[in-house]
Amino acid sequence: MGELVTPYKVSLILLSCLLLIGIGAGGAWQVQDWRMGKKLAEQTSLHKDDLAAISNAAAAQAQAEQDKRFSLERRLKTIDEAHFEEFSDAQENILRLRDRLATSDLRLSILLAEDSASGCDVPSTPGAVGVVHAARRAQLDPAHAQRIIGITDAGDQGLIALRACQAYAKEVSTPK
């Protein structure tokens, strides 16, 4: 019987050693798990802090860009209103001028070529012209005067639109 006990003792010792090794390995595994868990928690915390800093910087930059855009929109609106007012004033002046031409309250005239033979600015025909002796002028037909006013009106509108476009381009292209 003493001989039979020996293999049991060896197996029991081996089993005990394996159990102790297993407990040690399990304990070491648990300690490593705690350490890694702590490191991961620290990294997660740092990552959250970094993300919060990045988000705050992005929000501040977006707010700054939005403020720039609103400022530009306000300046452009002011410029647009000024050009619209200038355009409206020009249209009113043209309408008044057309009304005055239509009612014969105003007559357009052109300078005539100077008579080179006389070399004098004194009118050749007597009349109630006035005391001032200036270059000779010829009055235009009202229909021709209306066409000339229409052409100058279109030119004025084009110049106002060009100034508005130039002001817009300048405002948009210059950083403030």
Q: Which of 83-87, 94-98, 135-139 has the lowest mean pLDDT?
A: 135-139
Instruction: Write down the pLDDT at residue 113.
Output: 73
pLDDT at 122: 52
Highest mean pLDDT among 14-23, 100-109, 119-128, 131-140: 14-23
The residue behind tokens 């090794």 is 21
Higher-confidence residue of 8 and 170: namely: 170
Average pLDDT over residues 28-50: 91
Least trusted range by pLDDT, from 18-22, 80-84, 95-99, 137-141: 137-141
Tens digits of residue pLDDT in 48-80: 999 999 999 999 999 999 999 999 899 889 999
Question: What per-residue confidence (pLDDT) applies to 62?
Answer: 96
* pTM score: 0.49
User: Are the C-beta atoms of 76 and 171 separated by less than 8 Å?
Assistant: yes
Q: Which residue has the higher pLDDT, 15 or 129?
A: 15
Round to whole Å and give the CA distance between 49 and 162.
53
What b/e readout covers 23-47, taking b as 16+ CB neighbours within 10 angstroms?
eeeeeeeeeeeeeeeeeeeeeeeee
Segment 81-103 shows an average pLDDT of 86
Interatomic CA distance for residues 164 and 30, integer angstroms: 75
pLDDT at 54: 95
DSSP H helices, the chain, are 2-102, 142-173
Q: Give the model's pLDDT for residue 1.
A: 47
Tokens of 68: 């720039």
Query: What value does the mean pLDDT of the chain take?
Result: 82
**Tell me, what DSSP letter sits at residue 109?**
E
Burial of residue 167 (CB within 10 Å: 0-12, 13-18, 19+) is middle
Residue 13 has pLDDT above 50, yes or no: yes
Instruction: Provide the angle, in degrees to the nearest 10, between the axes of the packed helices 2-102 and 142-173.
Output: 160
